[in-house]
A = this chain, B = another copy of it.
Amino acid sequence: MLDSTDFKVADLSLAEAGRHQIRLAEREMPGLMALREEYASTAPLAGARIAGSLHMTVQTAVLIETLVALGAEVRWASCNIFSTQDEAAAAVVVGSGTPEAPAGVPVFAWKGETLDEYWWAADKIFDFADGPNLILDDGGDATMYVLKGTEFEAAGGVPTAGAEDSEEFKVLLKQIAASIEAAPGRFARLAAGIKGVSEETTTGVNRLYRLAEQGALPFPAINVNDSVTKSKFDNRYGIRHSLPDGLNRATDVLIGGKIAVVIGYGDVGKGAAEALRGQGARVIVTEIDPICALQATMDGFQVDLLPEAAPQADIIITTTGNTRVLDVDVLQTLKPGAIVGNVGHFDEEIDLAGLSRLPGVEKIEIKPQVHEWSVPVPAEAGLGRDRTDFLVLSEGRLLNLGNATGHPSFVMSASFSNQVLAQIELWHAHDDYGNSVHRLAKELDEKVARLHLPALGAKLSELSKEQAEYIGVDVAGPFKPEHYRY
C-alpha cells in the first residue's frame, strides 16, 4: 500500500529541479507572493486543514506553499491522472525548510496515475488526524468523494455498479467501499467537519449549483470560477497566450496569412481570435449567441456558418464548452493539411469518436499529441477529392495543455489568489454564508487585481472623497455594481 512516507515522487533530485522551477514561478505569481507578505504575521489560515484537489503543477506548488505560509495544514492530490509535474510534487513533499515550505506537506500525485491510484489519492487528502475542515477543489471530485461517501455510508453501503456505469464510477465505488470498511462512520465525520469548499472550474461549479438546487450541499461553496479576475483573465488572456504556443509546438506551421476558424466567441474565443489575428491570420468566427456574434463583427471578424467556413480553413479551433461542435460531416470537408484543435472543453468538442467509426479512416501519429487523420470524402460533398487528411492536436483534448504548458504562471496567480481569499473567507466567515454557491465578493476580486498591478509597472489612481461620493462608492471600492460586465 502506498503511503506519503514512501511517496512515489519524493525523490531528492526531482525535488531540487522542482524547487528551482518553483522559485522562477514565484516571480510570475505576484498575487500569491503579495498575499504571503500581507498575511505573514497574522496567519489567517491557522487552524485550517485543507484537502486540496487540483492539477499538481509548479504553479500549484506556489499555491500550496502560500496556504501553508498563511497557517494552513494542507494535503494534496491532483484532479487529473496526467497533469502532475512530478518535480513540483516532489519539491512540495520535500519542502525547502522555509516557513512556507517546511518539509512534509503530503502530496498524493504523480504523472500517469491509474484510476485506482487516482481515487486512492482522493481519499488520502482527507486523512488529517482531526479531519479536514476545508476543501479546495477543481472539477468537484474531492467534494463528490465526500458527499457520495457520506450518502453511501448512510445507506449502509455502496450500490452495485450497473453495466452502464463507467469504469471510473466502479473504481470510485470500490474506493468508497474500502474506506467505509476501514473506518466506519468516517465519511459522516468528514462531512460534518467541513466548513466549505472553493471551486476552480465551470464544471465543478455547475455540479455545485445542481447540488445546491437539490438541497444536497451540506456546506457553503465559493465559486472562484466566476470572479472577473479568474474568468476574464484565465479564459481570455490565458488562451491568447497558450493557443499559438500550442499550435507552434505541435506543428511549426506559419500562422500568418492563414485562414483560421474560431468556433465560439466567448472569453476563450475572444482570446483565441485576438491571438491568431495578432499573428497575421485571417480569422472567421462561428457563433450561436447573437450578442457574441455581434461583438465579433464589431471587432472586425467575419461571422459565418461552419459548413461554409470550414472547407477553406487552414486552422480550426473549438472554444465553446459544448459537445460535437466540429462533427464528422464538417471534418470530412476540411482541406488537406488543415490543423484542428480544441481549447474549449475536455475532449467533447471535436467528434473524433464518431470520426474513428467512419469506415476507411486512418490515424497516424506524427509525434506525441499530433496525429494525422486520413478520412474519406463522400462524393456528395462535391469537393473533387475522395480523401482528405488533417492534423488533430492532443487527440481533441485541450491543446494548450497537451501541446503546450497550459496557462502561464501569471494567469494562474490571479486564479489562485482568488482561491486563497476564498479559503480565508470560508475559514473566517463560513457562518455568514448559507449552504449554497456564492461568488467571491467584488472587493476581493478587486483585491486580486490590485495585487497583480505592481509587477506590471501599472500605477493605480485613487478616487478623491468627493469623487467617491459623486458616484456613490467607497474610496476603497468596490467600484462597480454587481451586473457590471467589464
Stretch at the interface among A41-49, A97-105, A191-199, A252-260: A252-260
Specify the chain B residue showing the minimal Cβ separation from A470.
Answer: B323
Whether the pair A460, B288 counts as a contact (CB closer than 8 A) is yes
B253 touches A450 (CB 8 A): no
Please tell me if A113 contacts chain B, counting CB pairs below 8 Å.
no
Out of B231, B255, B410, name the residue touching A254 (CB < 8 Å): B410
Chain A contacts with B in 287-343, Cβ cutoff 8 A: 287-306, 308, 312, 321-325, 336-337
- Whether the Cβ atoms of B254 and A241 lie closer than 8 Å is yes
Q: Which of A241, A457, A462 has the most CB of B within 10 A?
A: A457
Among A259, A277, A467, A480, max chain B CB count under 10 A is at: A467
Contact B228 A485 (CB under 8 A): yes
User: How far, in whole Å, are A474 and B346 apart by their CA atoms in the complex?
Assistant: 22
Q: Which of B229, B279, B292, B294 contacts A233 (CB 8 A)?
A: B294
What copy number does this chain have within its complex? 4
Residues of B within 8 A of A277 (CB): 278, 300
- When the two chains form their complex, are residues A467 and B237 in contact, meaning their CB atoms are under 8 A apart? no
Using a CB-CB cutoff of 8 Å, which residues 414-461 of chain A contact chain B? 439, 445-447, 449-450, 452-453, 456-461
Q: Can you name 17 extra interface pairs (CB under 8 A) apart from A231-B485, A241-B254, A257-B300?
A: A24-B366, A233-B298, A241-B248, A241-B255, A248-B248, A254-B408, A254-B410, A256-B410, A259-B456, A259-B457, A282-B297, A288-B463, A288-B479, A289-B480, A294-B453, A297-B456, A322-B467
Task: List the interface of chain A (C-beta within 8 A of B).
Answer: 20, 24, 27-28, 226, 228-229, 231-233, 236-237, 240-241, 244-245, 248-249, 252-259, 267, 274-275, 277-283, 286-306, 308, 312, 321-325, 336-337, 348, 366, 404-405, 408-411, 439, 445-447, 449-450, 452-453, 456-464, 466-467, 470-471, 477, 479-480, 482-483, 485-486
